[in-house]
Structure 1
């Protein structure tokens, strides 16, 4: 092999080495570019995921708040409905309170008339019967609308229903029992209209 041929081979080898080196550099650059692009895509995906998670958390919070408001609104409506029903029921029960109180005076007067007639020696039977029928009819009407008499002799004294006008020691009777009723008391649907005025045994 001549020197000229040897030089040509060396030049070809060097050229091939340069080409291979350039190709390797190009491949490395391409790999680096792909890695950078992949890293960018991953970063963008992470950012998008974070945005979606934040949006989801916000939506869940708003949904919880809306649900809470709805539950409170339903509870408030139920409370309003229950209060209204109670007010209507109370109005039905006690609408007659004033009227019933006015009628009690008439009942008292009829009871006094019956007592006077019972103590009198000469009373017209028809007149007495008329008073008794009027008294019974009025009592029946009051009972029909929930007005009930309270206070009977022999009952245990109850300060919520009875008003003690006097106390008296009586042998053979238990303490704190009603000895006499001076004026009957009345309730309207369980609510006290007026207490019974009574004399109470105190031994």
Structure 2
């Protein structure tokens, strides 16, 4: 029985024979070389597996060979100005404010000059208008002075009575509203700027040239002499 068991164990033994041949140049067997996986072929397989997995890195896109090369930042033709250059090119705020202030002062002076010129123009126009109105009034009143002379002679002779006297008084009052005033009375000092002497005599009763007789009264229109008075003058002895 023991011999039969030994024979069965001997029959079950497995004999492994190594048929590989050793390559004297590389030191590896041909089967080992065939067994080693090709790294160049394994790389794309691993990349494919990684891209297929949901958590793996994204697959890199291959750019076509005919695509234009990306422009290099250093060789770019567009030169953006530096912040310092922009600050130098822009005018400072103080200079701009000073220019605006000077322009405002100049415009203010122009406005003041125009305002003063307009005020002077209005004054000149008002003055000229007043002078023209006074001249026109003077022309009208000058035409009525002979009528006033006749009224004075009628008054001296006592003919200015009744309704005719009332009309004469109304006419004198109406002309007085325009600034007409009469002058020239006996005993007034002789004024060559207002009196026109038509006769001269000497008298011991006067101490200075005096109007002793009035032939025609004079008239003033405001401050302007409208007509001089005709008088006889007595000089002291």
Is the contact between residue 111 and residue 135 of structure 1 (CA under 8 Å) also seen in structure 2? no
Asked if residue 67 in structure 1 is aligned to residue 118 in structure 2, the reply is no
For the residue of structure 1 that corresponds to 2:189, the secondary structure is coil
Is the contact between residue 174 and residue 201 of structure 1 (CA under 8 Å) also seen in structure 2? no
Name 1:37's counterpart in structure 2: none
Q: Which has the higher helix share?
A: 1
RMSD over aligned Cα, in angstroms? 2.7
Name 1:161's counterpart in structure 2: 194
Structure with the greater alpha carbon radius of gyration? 2
C-alpha distance in 1, partners of 2:91/2:178?
72
| CA deviation after TM superposition for structure 1 residue 174, in Å | 2.4
Asked if residue 129 in structure 1 is aligned to residue 161 in structure 2, the reply is yes
Structure 1: gaps (5+ residues): 1-39, 119-126
**1:118-150 Cα distance to aligned partner (Å, 9 max, x none):** 5xxxxxxxx651454443333222222211101
Aligned residues: 153
Q: Which of residues 118, 141, 150 is equivalent to 2:174?
A: 141
Name which structure has the greater RCO, CA cutoff 8 Å, separation 6+.
Answer: 1
For the residue of structure 1 that corresponds to 2:161, the secondary structure is helix
| CA deviation after TM superposition for structure 1 residue 57, in Å | 3.6
Is the contact between residue 199 and residue 233 of structure 2 (CA under 8 Å) also seen in structure 1? yes
Give TM-score scaled by structure 2 length. 0.55
Give TM-score scaled by structure 1 length. 0.63
Structure 2: gaps (5+ residues): 1-82
Alpha-carbon distance change, 128 to 52 in structure 1, aligned in 2, over 3 angstroms: closer
Alpha-carbon distance change, 44 to 149 in structure 1, aligned in 2, over 3 angstroms: same
